[in-house]
Amino acid sequence: MAAKMLLLALLAMVSSVAMASDPSPLQDFCVADKDSKVLVNGFVCKDPKVVKAEDFFSTGLDKAGDTGKKVGSNVTAVNVNKLAGLNTLGISMVRIDYAPRGLNAPHTHPRATEILTVIEGQLFVGFVTSNTDNGNRLFTKMLKKGDVFVFPQGLIHFQFNPGYTNTVAIGALSSQNPGTITIADAVFGSKPPISDEVLAKAFQVDKKTVDWLQAQF
């Protein structure tokens, strides 16, 4: 009986790991049918007979994004919401533009690992590990043109342009729809807002400081 219980537990663990990323395709492609009213994990497949080359094509990554925002960066994403042919393929990409001193603020991708390469300029990048025994370790690196850095799935990471010229980077992500949670926006800009008492306790500051931070978002 104990052996059977152990076997069941191992099978459950294997199944959970297998379902932890985008499902593998069971056919050549499954172009997203965004007009379908059926709700599934991802998108329903378009009839292969009506699929066209345009379903696997996107354009625009040659154009710089608007970096006039407060943080000085812009992310142009090519995921399944923009390129229907990515459905079930478990991959997407982004172009990130950084103004001088521009920041892609600390954030996570809950469904993807990201690998990033600098096309022009330089970046100071890093990620923080989870709350393990020796956790919340910060790993950082200064990148120049042609350098590559990887951000493990789900971990908080950032990129900062320390220079005085524009920087461009390209990232690839291991999900058709990686998702993004920007930490400051989520904590201080949620709707409805998180209680200032909760945040004051969590950050060990007074409520006035929390109220001021929430007002910025």
Residue stretches of the annotated binding site for oxalate: 104, 109, 114
Tokens read off for 88: 């079930």
Annotated binding site for Mn(2+): 107, 109, 114, 157
Residue with tokens 């379903």: 55
Annotated binding site: 104, 107, 109, 114, 157
C-alpha 169/C-alpha 171 separation (Å) is 7
Following DSSP, what letter does each residue of 136-166 receive, concatenated? S-EEEEEEETT-EEEE-TT-EEEEE--SSS-
CA-closest candidate to residue 99, choices 124, 73, 75, 63: 73
Do the beta carbons of residue 177 and residue 156 sit within 8 Å?
Answer: no
Residue 65 amino acid letter: G
CA-closest candidate to residue 78, choices 172, 189, 158, 210: 172
